[in-house]
Every structure is written in structure tokens, then in C-alpha cells.
Structure 1
């Protein structure tokens, strides 16, 4: 009997998640990708090796993860990094002093910190715009624009960008479209199919899904761009260890199943919160009142488990965060367990207060990452936390 462990784009996402990029171990037949705990590789003879020379450049465990996520995204090349920020820093090495990047104003606070506090010192320039309106992206283009950096849905205001429209603007300007797909995952959104050039993830989040590793990963379609990223990966060396790659690869096998439950819980919690708090306090693309609900239905196949509540005051936010029991107050998101945090002081703590307020982020907001627990227990926990608010 012949079994096929390499998959193609005709396979469904669950089949790709389990099999893509992996083969049974050649020595033992082990179905799980082995941990290749090695720093170097023996050459068969002078000038002859098996494609591996030094583990910073390539590691078979890491390669399996890279191929797997690339297949899920519909890409041809994948590159794993030691963290999401390590991934983004490496992507920015594609550019040089004087280059201009257009950035969504509501990107993750760590992205803003990297760009504003570090990369500006090396001569890169950044313009932050509300990418909900494609015209604002077009208006920000200059002769030096080399990339449009997007996050959709955004963290934590859950704003959406029309990826096809944005990619068209970038293409006409000769710029790359780079999309952070961490919130939606390739299960619910495929930016490459909408015109993006690079898609990247914090694999710490949904890709891994179990809150037990740190990592990042970028995927591309073009061979020339892939060659440049492989050079950066090897030269800069922000790579993950094989065990972190193995943990993320284990996570991808259940990603489609987990995302279905995150989505079911997100819809149930969102509907309950809408009735409990009203439209002006619940920000979730899966609700009909969300201004980009129709766009979400068009370019996403699910809404996921991320949402933000506007409790109006920091006192209300503090009461809520001190009362939750099933939801845990913590950084991060996308694990099987439900988490909540205070974006104003946590994820966006490094963003100046006036900029946060200008973009619509206030200190009464709390972000929810709905895990895969029983929806009834999540709702009961929120009901108790919201009592009197």
C-alpha cells in the first residue's frame, strides 16, 4: 500500500495540516517528525553534503514546520523564526535606509515599538494610516514606498482591511504587501490569494495553540523573494530551536479543529455580550453591527475567537479583570485556554497615550481570546465578571 504524505493545494486544510511537508522517518518509519537535535551535519566527502551544513541555515524539524504552514497558506516557501518579532525584524531587513513603509495605525503594540523605537534609527520611515479606507493607503504612497504592512483583523480594535484593494494599491506603487495573519490563521483567511506578497504569523498564538512555545513564521510564493529571506534567515540567525519547531508542528495538526471551536465560542460569546452590553461596547467582526461584517464574510471563512469589550472606564476594566475565573488575565492569545488582557497598559503599553486615544483605544477596553472550553462556562464567567458594571 502506498501512502502519500506530501500534499498539494487540492487537499483540504485538515489533510494539509496533518500531512503537508512531512514524511515518515526514513530510518524507523516514525509517523511523527523527529527532533533533530544537532548543531551541524557531517559531509559525506569534501564538498558533498545532503543539503544540510549548519543548523542555523536549515534543520529538518524546522523545515517540516515551514513546509506545513506554507501549504496551509497556499505558499511555496516558509521560513521559521525564534519569535514573531524576530520574524518581523527579519522581514524588515528586506529594506534599506530611506525606504518608506505604510503601516496600519492599529497594529500590535510590539510592531509599533519595533518600528518607532528601533528601525527609525536605521533610516526607515513609517506612515501610520487607518487602513479601513483603501484611499488612505493610496494617499500615503510616496516615491520611496517599498511596503504596505497590514494586520487584519487588528489587535485589539478588530478593524478589517480590504486585502485585495490594499494589495492592488501596493502593486501599482511597486511595493510589497505584508500581512500579519496571526488572528485569522490560514484556516479563516488566505492573504496570498488576495494579492499579498508575504504573510507572517506569531506561531506562539493559534498555530501552536497550546501556550508552550515562542515562534514566528513567514511564507511567500515568489522564488526570488524566498531566496532573499533564506539569506536573511541564515545571516541574521533569528531561528527557533528544533523543539519549538516541533511543538508548533504538533499544534498545526489540530489547527482546523481548534479554529472551528474558537469560532463557535466566539460567535456564542459575542452574541451573548451584544445582548448584555449593547452594540457600542462589543467589537467583534462576527456581529452584524460591526462596520466591516460584510467584508469579514467576504474575505474570511470564519470570525474566530478574538473580540474587544469597551467597558468605558478603567475602573470597570479593573473590576472585570479581577473577577474573571475561566478567562485568565495574561499576555498572548490563541491558546486552547481563554485569556483576557488590558490592551491600553499591556499589549499597547509602549504606544504613547495620545496615539492610542487617537486611534480609538481607551483604558476601559479589555480584549478576549475565547478558548475552546464549553461556551456555557465562558458566558457564565463573563456574566459574573460583568455584574454591576
Structure 2
């Protein structure tokens, strides 16, 4: 093949891929594999290259090819951002060095005297940055029961600038009606953010239900292999995107190209992994629900789970996150059970292909005062389970032996 013919083929591939990835009718699995990604025009490489560069050539000052310095933009990271945005049915995406860096960037939109309404069951890192960092700058946070969105109205005032929710929540799996909260936020003219980490874009799309911004800890289901720490924000609002990009670039909480490449590779199997997480999660939850050592179980797929009907309406399946409360177990007993697993791994985080066990009270939610977390059920004998994609028989056997330890 001549050089000219080769260049033509690459051009046609790039053009076709560009058209394909912008078509709204493209299905989820196709987006996961193709959105934001094109054959490299220089070599024809199918996989997005790792652009391990800090800076970019300019023909003359300001005359460049869209990239100046990698803190602001990088081609590998841009492909990832476009892919995540596409999966959330959004136009604009930004990738961050962690989920907390993404959260921090949203909160920088606020000013002293502003107020935030959020849930009473939150990831410990979110609670910590709200109370230990941004309260110091004069931001007030209301932590309320969001199982009934109408509860929001009594806290709304002209100082309210942001509503922030998780659903399902971490770790008691509360289900918040995304659309109902969105309607309240829109009517009040308040910015509305949904942390979609536990569900992933495969199970629900908050942008379609009224969210202004969706936040992800990409570390979890999106990357999916416990080898990357990263966050993301997506939005359909161009002005909002520009504001977020300013802080993103100015403050520098951006990931490198190697991590971006790994996350992009992980996304390609998101739909396959989520199917397995959901299938295994269902079987594990069913097994645990009737186990004599379990006092309580939190999993939104059960009909008796609070707001199960809302979960069924806004989610495509119920995921692989489960929390259990051990019956008549002391903290010492709970530690013994948590340390007895052989297939499940006792560790922070969630959403990887491997199954994980977590003790929120002393691990992910250790930054929340005991009296605060216990009000919503995060007690010392609660264990959070991230069900992986291993063989279900091995998972059930491991649960049985650990619970009987």
C-alpha cells in the first residue's frame, strides 16, 4: 500500500469513527469501546496512544493543534473524558486525579455564605471535605434524610446554591429519587450534582433525570481493575463546563496519561463487568438475606428495601454493592469475620473485578463522628461488600465459612 493510500485509509477511519461516536442512537457497549477514540492519524494505531508529554509544539505563539500544556489538556485524557461523557449522555467531561479532586472542583463554584443540601448517608471522604475543609470557608451544609425529596423544601433559602446527592448511598444503599430532586432544584434555581459512583453509567444516567453535573470516582466501576485512582465530572451545560475547566486547569487536579490510558482500557469492558457484578450481587444478596448470622441487609433489589420502586424506575439493575449488619456481633466479632475471608479481600474501595470486604466504621467512614454515622445505621457491626466477578460458587462458600468463623 502506498503512503497516499494508507493516509486515505486512516482519514476515512477517523472520519467514520468520528461520525459513529457522535450518533445519539449508538448503544452503550459500542460507546464504551468507541466513544472519543479514533485510530491514530500518524500510525493508524487502534488503541489511543499514551501521550507522555508535558508540552506541545506551536507553529507560532498561540497557533497550536488544540494542546498547549498537559495540565490543561492531553490527548489520552481527552479521549477518556469524551468517552465518559458519552456514556452519561452528556456533551462535556473532565477527568481528575481522584474523585475527591472532582468534588473539590465543584465546591469551588461556591462562595462564603452559600448553603448546600446533601444526604445524611455519604461517603466518608465527601463528609470530610464538606465539614473539615469547606465549612472553614463559610459554606454551610445541611445533612438531611433524602429518602423523601420533599424534605429538601424546608431547608431551601436564597442562600442555597447546591444540592448534592449519592444514590445508591454509601454504605446503607439509600435510593434517592433523582428526577424528583431534580425538579425541586430546577424550580429553586439551584445547582444539582449526583454522585453516580455506586451505580456507574451502565445502571443509571442522572443527566437524563435532571442533574446538572454527574460526579464519578472513576477508581471504582468505570476503571474497574483497582489499578487507577481517578475522578470525573460530566455536564451538558457549556457555561458550567467552562467554569469547571477553569478550576480544573488553574488548580491542577488532573490525572496523567498513563492512568487515563488504563481507565480508558477498563471502560471497554464496563458493560460486561456490570452484568457479572449484578448477577453475582443478586445471588449473594439472596443468600445473605436468609442467613442466620445476618440481622439486616441493604440491597436495593429487594422489594422490601426502602424506595425499591424508585430504584426499579431509575436503574437498569441493582448492582453489586451490599451492606450487612451481623447479628449480636461486637466490634471484635465483626473484625474477626471481616478478617476471615479467603476469596473476598479486606480492603478499602469497591467496584473492581475482585470481591472486597470493607468495615465502614473504621475504614471508609472513619472520618465521620460515631454519633453521626450511627444515626443512619453505619454501626460497628456493619460490613460493606463489593461483589466482584469471580465464580459465584466460590464467593458463596467463602461467605459461609467467614460468617461461621
Fold in common (TM above 0.5)? yes
Q: How much does 1:143 deviate?
A: 1.1
Corresponding position: 1:268 with 2:280: no
Give the SS at the match of 1:131.
coil
* 1:27 maps to which of 42, 48, 59: 42
- What do the CA deviations read for 1:188-247 (whole angstroms, capped 9, x no partner)? 010011100000100111111000011000000011111111111111110001111111
* 1:170 maps to which of 157, 165, 185: 185
- What do the CA deviations read for 1:139-177 (whole angstroms, capped 9, x no partner)? 111110011000000000000100011011111111111
Corresponding position: 1:368 with 2:385: yes
Aligned to 1:241: 256
* Equivalent-residue separation in structure 2 for 1:335 and 1:369 (angstroms): 8
Q: Is the 1:279–1:289 Cα contact (8 Å) retained in structure 2?
A: no
Q: How much does 1:280 deviate?
A: 4.9
Corresponding position: 1:316 with 2:316: no
Aligned to 2:5: none
Q: How much does 1:5 deviate?
A: 2.2
- What do the CA deviations read for 1:5-37 (whole angstroms, capped 9, x no partner)? 231321110000000011100111000000011
Higher Rg:
2
User: What residue ranges of structure 1 are gaps of 5+ in the alignment?
Assistant: none
Corresponding position: 1:128 with 2:143: yes
* 2:121 maps to which of 106, 115, 127: 106
Q: Which moved more, 1:308-317 or 1:292-301?
A: 308-317
Aligned to 1:342: 359
Q: Is the 1:315–1:364 Cα contact (8 Å) retained in structure 2?
A: no
Tell me: CA distance 1:355–1:74, structure 2 relative to 1, closer, same or farther (3 Å): same
Corresponding position: 1:353 with 2:370: yes
* Equivalent-residue separation in structure 2 for 1:337 and 1:257 (angstroms): 14
TM-score by length of 2: 0.94
User: What residue ranges of structure 2 are gaps of 5+ in the alignment?
Assistant: 1-8
Aligned to 1:259: 274
- What do the CA deviations read for 1:234-282 (whole angstroms, capped 9, x no partner)? 1111000111111110111000000000000000101111122488511
* 1:88 maps to which of 75, 95, 103: 103
TM-score by length of 1: 0.97
Aligned to 2:4: none
Give the aligned CA root-mean-square deviation in angstroms.
1.3
Corresponding position: 1:250 with 2:262: no
- What do the CA deviations read for 1:344-375 (whole angstroms, capped 9, x no partner)? 11111000111011122110000000000011
Corresponding position: 1:377 with 2:389: no
* Equivalent-residue separation in structure 2 for 1:46 and 1:130 (angstroms): 54
* Equivalent-residue separation in structure 2 for 1:175 and 1:209 (angstroms): 32
Give the SS at the match of 1:17.
helix
* Equivalent-residue separation in structure 1 for 2:158 and 2:376 (angstroms): 26
Give the SS at the match of 2:192.
strand
Q: Is the 1:17–1:68 Cα contact (8 Å) retained in structure 2?
A: yes
Aligned to 2:17: 5
Aligned to 2:312: 297
Aligned to 1:39: 54
* Equivalent-residue separation in structure 1 for 2:310 and 2:137 (angstroms): 37
* Equivalent-residue separation in structure 2 for 1:316 and 1:300 (angstroms): 35
Q: Is the 2:293–2:403 Cα contact (8 Å) retained in structure 1?
A: no
Q: Is the 1:203–1:217 Cα contact (8 Å) retained in structure 2?
A: yes
